[in-house]
Amino acid sequence: MKRLACTCALGLALAACGGAIAEKPVIAGPQPADPRAAHSYLEGIKWLAQKGRDNETHAIESFEAALAIDPGLWEAHYNLGVVYERRGEARKALQHFEAAHQTEPSASEPLIGLAEAQHRLGDRAAASDLLEQYLQSHADDNKVRVLLTSILRERGRFDDALTQARDALVRDPANAAALLEVGRIYRAKQEPDVAELVFRKVLALDPKSAPAHNDLGLLGLERGDTQLAFDEFEKAVAVDPSFAPARMNRASVLVHAGDYAAAHAEYEKVLALDEHAVDARVGLGVSLRGLGKHADAEKAYEKALEDAPSDPAALFDLGVLRAEFLNRRGEARELFERYLDVAASDAVERPVAERYLAQIPAAPAPAVAPAPKPAAAPTHAKPVKKKTGS
């Protein structure tokens, strides 16, 4: 295998499969009391059972119709948050999760959605504060506690994260997700031997834990052992062929190594499992760009934006492709502007997008055509009398 490159592929990241990236379930009930709201609500559920942008659009219309009849239907707000999250529109998702949480503060689903939306937008302090407040009155909710552990870890509050993970394990000693977070904390603390020991304990609890194999693979990469990493990613796929993060990680490593053809094959396998996997579609674009197939790369990014019109990675990578490889910098500017509207406040690509905007001049405003002069009033000339001879 080629030596890993030092720079990351644009729009790609290794998939740790932490608490803040899992897709949230749709809430199918209870049905609203008003039969008209119930009809619209159930129509939205029906549309969401089918993936695809058109179906999501129908779902949005149905849930909004239900809310117009019953504004207190928090489940409709929550499901709208799920739809907008799928489409990469984190700010709209946040608004609906927040509305659902305000309507029903005791429900954990809107709380988790709101915290994850805040997390995606870079406001991790607000996310962890929200979860901590919730746990004060719902101490036995281990799902929320594990999510809080993950966010505290990402904030660098390792001691607090360990306290939360251990608290979850006291309540449920067989909680593999909490134990997995303990390993991730030690990995983040750069204590790889302890992290490996914990991940092995997870596998002792659950020999078919694809996430544990995935984390061991990430640990191998951090140690510089690419072969070990690939072996662990392969084990993750072997125990769960539908576990996309391991395939995504294999592909990402291949991109870093410059093996774009092999990376392309991995992304195709993920898309065979889920043709609407936006991250895989973006990765496919990166691999095609690496292969010099710029037109095909553009189509891959455009397809990703069909499913998720505000996906930051797709917007950013398509902007780079058009600016650097297709010589269409004017079109790239609009993509970078859209990217900055939706990207997290701490996204590492933000400064790059800002530099592109500084370098690409804005399109001149269209010239305003002068107003037409009013037509002159018609003149009526007096008839000239013909002179007659004297």
Amino acid at the residue 162: L
Class at the top of the CATH hierarchy for domain 16-122: mainly alpha
Query: Tell me: domain 242-308, CATH 1.10.10.10, correct?
Result: no
- Kindly report the three-state secondary structure assignment for every residue of 292-350: CCHHHHHHHHHHHHHHCCCCHHHHHHHHHHHHHHCCCHHHHHHHHHHHHHHCCCCCCCH
Q: Where are the domains of the chain?
A: 16-122, 132-240, 242-308, 310-360
**Which of 232, 247, 235, 230 lies closest to 1 in space, CA to CA?**
230
Total H helices, total E strands in the chain: 19, 0
Q: What is the pTM of this model?
A: 0.75
* Residuewise pLDDT in 10s, the chain (390 residues): 332 322 233 334 455 544 444 566 677 766 667 889 889 999 999 998 887 778 899 999 999 999 999 999 999 999 999 999 888 788 899 999 999 999 999 888 999 899 989 988 888 899 999 999 899 989 999 999 999 999 999 999 999 999 999 999 999 999 999 999 999 999 999 999 999 999 999 999 999 999 999 999 999 999 999 999 999 999 999 999 989 999 999 999 999 999 999 999 999 999 998 888 999 999 999 999 999 999 999 999 999 998 888 899 999 999 999 999 999 999 999 999 999 998 888 899 999 999 999 999 887 655 555 555 555 444 444 444 444 443
**Which of 181, 252, 255 lies closest to 215 in space, CA to CA?**
181
**Which of 281, 296, 289 lies closest to 320 in space, CA to CA?**
289
Q: Which fold has domain 132-240?
A: 1.25.40
Percent of the chain with pLDDT over 70: 86
Task: For 52-68, write each residue's pLDDT tens digit.
Answer: 778 899 999 999 999 99
